[in-house]
Amino acid sequence: MAYNTLCLTMVAACMALTAPSSVAFQERDRNAALDYWSLIEMRHGELYGAMFDDRLLAILDEMQPKPESGAEPINEPAELAEGGTYGELLERHSLFLDNIERASSVEACDFQIRYEDGFDMMLPHLGGIRPLVRLLVVDARRLALSGHEERAARRLVAALAIARHLVGDRHLISSMVAISAFETTVLECHWLLDRVDDTAEVRELIATGLSGFVIGDTFGIVPAILTEVNSTRLIAKRYKGPNAAVEYGLAGMSETADEEDRALRGEYWRLFVGDRFEEEVDLAVTAFDELLAAWKSDNPTEALKVFRERIRDGEYGDVAPTVMPWYQNVYRVDSRARNELQRIRERVLSDG
């Protein structure tokens, strides 16, 4: 009797797990990061190698040549034309690309970054995410050339979703990769819209992909700056004792630096004795308050230039220059991408 009761209980549990409401709950709680990792680590035979070889970048360079190259864009790269080997490869592995789309459609994405590691935190997913975006963009071109424009648009919507997911990392490097992915994808969106004469179906699909990007701090630069603040604070916790400053100074040097350079660097940081190193770290933390004020000012370009000069002149001590990226360049790239977002939105939301 007890055995029968146990069996019935197990059957009931299995039925509950497969009930529609339970499935909906599981879909709601999915994490796109796990799906991305599965795709990256799948090592999908010939496609896996093609994700990381030079052909993918070469095709993209033909489609979207750098302005400084002076080259004209090629609408139909040879590798994607009929009989082109890379195009045939993508066709054979269309299910893999469909699965990238599927992963990108999951709302939540958390790569479980260890923020507590400070400047030592790892972002291993970025190396695999970039090829996924490139595959989607190149396959969108292949599909469009073969007359499947709406499928091409869906590939681009997936690439936009991946860029948006990376913004959630709250890390400056991830934000820069997100911007790169976004700009590459938006360029292809314009090409596709030109090809189809801005048809309503394609415009609506792309508009859906753009809808998740917020107005304002679109690419999450402010949260990324706050992560930098936290990482800077953690310096004083990681490097302790009488040699804390020297260990910190040498940690930032390349392993290929010669002994003389290392000795000179060590002598310099040896001057920061006692509590002075912690005071230098605290001073660097206060610099981020000024950075955020400059970022949010009426004229960020000029304010960031002045801020950079103050960092260079030592106003925030000697640790600050070692932890402060060149935010003038970050602002320029971020502004350009936000302007591109506005432009593509205006195009797809117009009456045609």
Least confidently predicted of 78-92, 156-170, 178-192, 198-212 = 78-92
Residues in contact with 349: Cβ distance below 8 Å, sequence separation at least 6, in sequence order: 203, 207
Give the residue numbers spanning the domain of 283: 223-331
Pair 198, 275 in one domain: no
Same-domain check for residues 197 and 250: no
Residue 92 has pLDDT above 80, yes or no: yes
Please tell me whether residues 130 and 179 are part of one structural domain: yes
| 78/208 same-domain check | yes
**Cβ(87)–Cβ(81) below 8 Å:** yes
Question: Which position has the token pair 């976004």?
Answer: 182
Instruction: Render pLDDT for 4-16 as a digit per residue (tens, 0 to 9).
Output: 444 444 444 444 4
Instruction: Tell me the torsion sign for CA atoms 155, 161, 164, 166.
Output: negative
CB within 8 Å of 152: residues ≥ 6 apart: 139, 140, 141, 143, 144, 192
Q: Is 2 within the bounds of a domain? A: no
Percentage of the residues of the chain whose pLDDT score is greater than 90: 67
Separation of alpha carbons 8 and 1, rounded Å: 11
Return the minimum-mean-pLDDT range out of 22-31, 108-117, 162-171: 22-31
Domain check: are 181 and 276 in the same one?
A: no
User: Mean pLDDT, the chain, as a whole number?
Assistant: 87
97, 260, 293, 350 from 134: Cα distances, Å: 11, 43, 36, 28
User: Which spans in the chain are helix H?
Assistant: 2-17, 20-28, 32-41, 45-52, 54-63, 85-92, 94-104, 126-145, 149-167, 172-195, 200-210, 221-238, 244-251, 259-269, 276-295, 300-312, 320-323, 327-349
Neighbouring CB atoms inside 10 A of 310's CB total 14
Domain boundary among 183, 213, 243: 213
**pLDDT class for 42, splitting at 50, 70, 90?**
confident
Summarised one tens digit per residue, pLDDT across range 141-151 is 999 999 999 99
More confident residue, 157 or 18: 157
Give 262-287 pLDDT, tens digit per residue: 676 667 777 777 788 899 899 999 99
Query: Closest by alpha carbon to 292, among 334, 327, 336?
Result: 327
User: What pLDDT is recorded for position 250?
Assistant: 73
44 shares its domain with 159: yes
Task: Tell me, yes or no, whether 336 lies in a domain.
Answer: no
pLDDT tens figures, 240-258: 888 888 888 777 655 656 6
275 and 154 co-located in one domain: no
